[in-house]
Amino acid sequence: MQGVFISFEGLDGSGKTTQVQQVAEVLRGQGYEVLTTREPGGTVLAEKVRELVLDPLLPLNNMTQVLLYLAARSEHVEKVISPALAAGKIVLCDRFSDSTLVYQGLTRGLQLEALENLKQLNAYACRGLVPDLTLVLDGDPHKLLTRRVSRGVSDRYEIQGLEFQKQLRRGFLTLAQAEPERIRVLNAEGSADEVEQQILAVLQQFLKKA
């Protein structure tokens, strides 16, 4: 039986990493085999790419960033995600292709219609793999950024501040509007347990149908 591929998306500090871990524990307790992973990352090479691409001191133009993310994703899909899906696991991935469309596309002045090239490059890197379900953890950028800042701001995107986070939010909501069947938007402003309950409600319904 083919597994289920679920990606978590949203602003920096929206709680994706926390939720991936919490939700994985609950699903494992229900008897599911669950793999958690993240982007950029998930393989030795992709973790090295992560260091490069998030380094705020290393100048990288947007196309170079895209190609680095896609190189990392190609490895990640081939070596980690696809084998886990083939083994029937639920894969919970902390960010995936939609982050590229938002961070390297919609926030760079591209409109939705102009994302076609980026989508094609991404589809090539992923060999056509698309998440079965994507959960966007959404909320007021100021509130969410404050959580992250209290832990220390360090990477290439976080240092771009509140205005950039607002653009990111608009970007994820635009994608969700365009693909409402796949992308579900959840309110991430509550406590971690409240957000977890919302996610589990969506997941239980989704897994019943899968």
Whether the Cβ atoms of residue 10 and residue 172 lie closer than 8 Å to each other: yes
Find the binder of ligand T5A among 7, 39, 43, 186 (CB under 6 A). 39
CB of 29 to ligand T5A, least distance (A): 20
Which residues sit opposite 183 in a β-bridge?
A: 134
> CA-CA distances (angstroms) from residue 44 to 75, 82, 99?
9, 16, 21
Residue 191 is a binding residue for ligand T5A (CB under 6 A) = yes
* Nearer CB in complex with ligand T5A: 89/95: 95
Residue 12 is a binding residue for ligand T5A (CB under 6 A) = yes
Residue 155 is a binding residue for ligand T5A (CB under 6 A) = yes
Cα dihedral: 53, 48, 41, 120 (round 10): 60
Residue 100 is a binding residue for ligand T5A (CB under 6 A) = yes
* Nearer CB in complex with ligand T5A: 111/191: 191
Q: Tokens 């409240």, residue?
A: 194
Residue 138 is a binding residue for ligand T5A (CB under 6 A) = no
For residue 173, the Cα-to-chain-centroid distance in whole angstroms is: 14
DSSP string of 183-204, one letter each residue: EEEEE--S-HHHHHHHHHHHHH
Residues that bind ligand T5A (CB under 6 A): 10, 12-18, 39-40, 54, 69, 94-95, 99-100, 103-104, 147-148, 151, 155, 157, 191-192, 195
